A and B are shown apart, each in its own frame.
Chain A
Amino acid sequence: MNATDTLFVILGTALVLLMTPALALFYGGLVRAKSILNTMMMSLVALGLVGLLWAVLGYSLAFAPGNEAVGGLGHALLRGVDLQLRSGKTIPHLLYFMYQGTFAIITAALISGAIVERMRFSAYLAFLGAWTLLVYSPVAHWAWGGGWMERLGILDFAGGTVVHITAGTAAWVAAVMVGPRHDHGRQAFLPHNVPMMLTGAALLWFGWVGFNGGSALAVNGTAVQATVNTVLAPIAAVVTWMALELRRSGRATAVGAGTAIVVGLVAITPGCGFVSPLGALAIGALTAIPCQLAIHWRPRTALDDALDVVGAHGTGGVVGALLTGVFTTTAWGGPAGLLEGAPRQLGLQALGVVAVMAWTAVATWGILATIRRVVPLRVTARDEAAGLDVGEHGEEGYGDGEGAILVLDTPTARAAR
């Protein structure tokens, strides 16, 4: 094994691992105080459940040799995943497995933003597991594991399509099937802790360096290019976002800036190893425009995509995948793009977007329709009104402990009597 490359991917694994708790902070700050623990748990539980399924089966379905649609069972239960080099790479197979696992975990967690504050936790767990195996693993195989997207040359450097388009599409379907929150369209649902959301955005950006830069899987020029592009695109997105807000209302908002960071990161993810640094700035700036339109328009619709997963990850993922076909350049390691007079790559990118959206939508619908026959997708109206923290988890995020009576028959309780 190459020691430098291996160390690099170990660091990358740690960085991407941090993104899921960061997402918990980001989402947790955006919901109302009475459902913060449920919202954070929806992200954190992916670290447990999806990580476990990834080791048992998910990794094999994505990365074991199989057909063009799905990987085989060759690496189920981590068979053959050891310290030998992953074929074609300079790092151990075991490390490659875990690095990819952190991607599967955060992708599933991203969807939760669309259904917070009303989805039943048990139904969510069932959904998370089925979705990882039926949607994430196959699509990761298509793009990275020897599937049809890879063979056709559809570009997805670090997961714009595999992670963000799948999550954004699933979020849309899930928000429709679970249904809107009570009071949706009547009451404004405001973030209860914006500083927490901004902390999450900052940590996501930090972790994303490992997500995009690490996807080079080696210490080389491409890793440098992907890392720098991952810093540049959100910079352009934040500036563009604030400029649009200033023009619209005269005020640049903090929630807007935090959102813009994520939008810029999503946008550059598919192309960060194929476009120039100036291209990255352009992609970040250009993607901010449709994402802001989508996010500002959504509250006027019936779709209760509570934390704008569709607007940020779906829209940003699609626009980023298409712009990759525009800005990819032979000078920076990619195939020729539209700007170099080659429209073919843009067409391929569009094909990838449509196919992934179609499969994700159908499979997500099928999973939720099946779960719905066994367990309701929503909590009761009363639990929803009181907040999901007490109803689903028996805890409060900000309880002050007053009026709490100990139930257990402990020695202390006996002595007090």
Chain B
Amino acid sequence: MKLVVAIIRPERLTSVLESLYRAEVRGLTVSKVQGHGGETEHVETYRGTTVKMDLQAKVRLEIGVSEAFVQPTIDAIVQGARTGDVGDGKIFVLPVEQIVRIRNGETDTAAVTPVEPAE
């Protein structure tokens, strides 16, 4: 079991969700975050005051998957999120000790569906 955490551009979220859907990855959590990944800061001006915006709006995806789904999930995120410019984001794959489905107490691999990727 792995937890796939991905930081992506907000405007790529639709296409990432689409490619995850096609890869049959179903359960996921999305949050709006701010961060900085080495891209050029953009400059804003308010009443003559010029500021460099160091933090960019990003979207974080968290997806718990069984081993068989790790690579399909990564592929789908990369395919949906890549523009080729600095600031496309990162994917982190973390080991998971335990997963519990709250509804019925199923644990671990049984708690992330489906078990096998579609052929």
Residues of A within 8 A of B (CB): 34, 183, 186-187, 382, 385-386, 390, 394-396, 399, 402-408
- Whether B54 contacts A403 by the Cβ 8 Å rule is yes
Contact across chains for B11 and A394 when beta carbons are under 8 A apart = no
Given contacts A382-B85, A385-B11, A386-B11, contact A403 B46 (CB under 8 A): no
Select which of A183, A385, A390, A395 is within 8 A of B9 by beta carbon. Answer: A385
Which residues of chain A are near B49, meaning CB under 8 Å? 406, 408
Flag if A407 contacts B11 (CB, 8 Å): no
Q: What are the residues of chain A within 8 A of B44 when measuring CB–CB? A: 390, 394-396, 399, 404
CB neighbours (8 Å) of B50 from chain A are 406-408
List chain A residues, Cβ under 8 A from B18: 186
Given known A-B contacts A394-B43, A404-B44, A187 and B14 have beta carbons under 8 A apart:
yes
One of B14, B34, B51 near A405 (C-beta < 8 A): B51
CA distance A408 to B44 in the complex (A): 12
A189 to chain B, nearest CB (A): 11
Closest residue of chain B to A396 (Cβ to Cβ) is B44
- Minimum C-beta distance from B52 to chain A (A): 4
| Pick from B41, B45, B85: contact of A395, CB under 8 Å | B45
Residue with the highest number of chain A CB atoms closer than 10 Å, among B42, B51, B54, B85: B51
Question: Residue on B with the closest CB to A188?
Answer: B14
Please state if A402 and B55 are interface contacts (CB–CB under 8 Å).
yes
With CB as the reference atom, state the residue of chain A lying closest to B41: A405
Closest partner residue, chain A, to B42 (CB atom): A390
Inter-chain CA distance A399–B52, complex, in Å, is 13
CB contacts (< 8 Å) of B42 on chain A: these are 386, 390, 394
- How many Å lie between the Cα of A404 and that of B42 in the bound state? 10
Q: Can you report 9 residue pairs joining A to B where beta carbons are below 8 Å apart?
A: A382-B83, A385-B9, A385-B83, A390-B53, A394-B44, A395-B44, A404-B54, A405-B54, A406-B50
Q: Tell me whether chain A's interface is mostly helix, strand or loop, or mixed.
A: loop
> Of the candidates A34, A186, A403, A406, which one forms a contact with B14 in the assembled complex, judged by CB atoms under 8 Å apart?
A186
Encode B60-99 as 1/0 by CB contact (under 8 A) with A. 0000000000000000000000010100000000000000
Which size class do B's interface residues fall under? 20 to 34
A contact residues around B46 at 8 Å (CB): 395
Give complex CA distance A406, B44 in Å: 10
CB contacts (< 8 Å) of B41 on chain A: these are 405
Q: Is the beta-carbon distance between A402 and B52 smaller than 8 angstroms?
A: no
The minimal Cβ–Cβ distance linking A54 to chain B, given in whole angstroms, is 28
Known: A390-B42, A394-B45, A396-B44. A404 touches B52 (CB 8 A): yes
Tell me, yes or no, whether B22 is within 8 Å of chain A by CB.
no
Instruction: Say yes or no: A406-B34 contact (C-beta < 8 A), given A186-B14, A385-B9.
Output: no
Cα A386 to Cα B18 in complex, Å, equals: 19
Contacts of A394 in B (CB 8 A): 42-45
Would you list which residues of chain B between 6 and 25 have a CB under 8 Å from chain A? 9-12, 14, 18
B50 CB, nearest partner CB in chain A, Å: 4
Contacts A396-B53, A403-B55 known; 5 new A-B pairs at CB < 8 A: A385-B12, A394-B43, A405-B53, A408-B49, A408-B50
- Which A residues touch B101, using CB under 8 A? none
Contact A407 B34 (CB under 8 A): no
Which of B12, B44, B50 is packed against the most chain A CB atoms within 10 Å?
Answer: B44
Give Cα A394 to B53, complex, Å: 10
Q: Write the nearest CB–CB distance from B107 to chain A, whole angstroms.
A: 36
| A403/B53 in contact, CB under 8 A | yes
Give the CA-CA distance A186 to B18 in the complex, in Å. 10
Find out whether the CB atom of A404 lies under 8 angstroms from the CB atom of B45: no
- In Å, the complex CA distance between A187 and B10 comes to 13
CB pair A402–B14 under 8 Å, yes or no, is no
What are the residues of chain A within 8 A of B54 when measuring CB–CB? 403-405
Asked whether B51 lies within 8 Å of A404 as measured between CB atoms, the reply is yes
> Is the CB of B26 closer than 8 A to any CB of chain A?
no
